[in-house]
Structure 1
Amino acid sequence: MERAFQRGYMAGVEGKSKEMCPKEEGPEHQQWINGWREGRSDHWDGYTGVSGIHRFNEVVIHH
């Protein structure tokens, strides 16, 4: 579940579509979508490059 969130987060930060989610439904799908949403929010807030690395570590540790 944690891995699904992390992968979704990375997809969101990279600006990828939520349609890229590898699961169609279920708890892993939901965790991936949750990560994607947080990643998209961070992408819009400018967390890219070095600042993105620091933010990613915060997300991974606290999730």
Structure 2
Amino acid sequence: MKRQKRDRMDRAFSKGFQAGVGGRSKDNCPYSNLDSRSQWLGGWREGVDGRIKGLLFNK
């Protein structure tokens, strides 16, 4: 049985989260579609937030 690809919106969110955790700029968003772009930016925001909170707790 073939595995289904993840939902495109979930993938955009995940890629944005990875970019946020990695410290990349939100200007590097690769999506031009409004829905995908908003999902990517939401993931980016959560990734940046998690990175900042992780840095604060590690000190």
- Using structure 1 for the length normalisation, give the TM-score: 0.70
Partner of 1:33: 41
Mark the runs of 5 or more structure 1 residues left unpaired by the alignment.
48-63
Task: Quote the offset at 1:23 in angstroms.
Answer: 1.4
Moved more, 19-28 or 9-18: 19-28
Name stretches of at least 5 consecutive residues in structure 2 with no aligned partner.
Answer: 1-8
4+ residue runs of structure 1 moved beyond 3 angstroms? Answer: none
Match status 1:23 vs 2:6: no
Identity %: 45
Q: Given residue 30 of structure 1, which amino acid in structure 2 is its aligned partner?
A: S
Structure 1 residue aligned with 2:5? none
Task: Give the aligned partner of residue 46 of structure 1.
Answer: 54
Partner Cα distance (1:25, 1:3) in 2:
14
CA–CA distance in structure 1, aligned partners of residues 41 and 33 of structure 2: 10
Aligned length: 47
Q: Distance in 2 between matches of 1:14 and 1:27?
A: 22
Read off the aligned partner of 1:33 and give its amino acid letter: L
Is 2:17 aligned against 1:9? yes
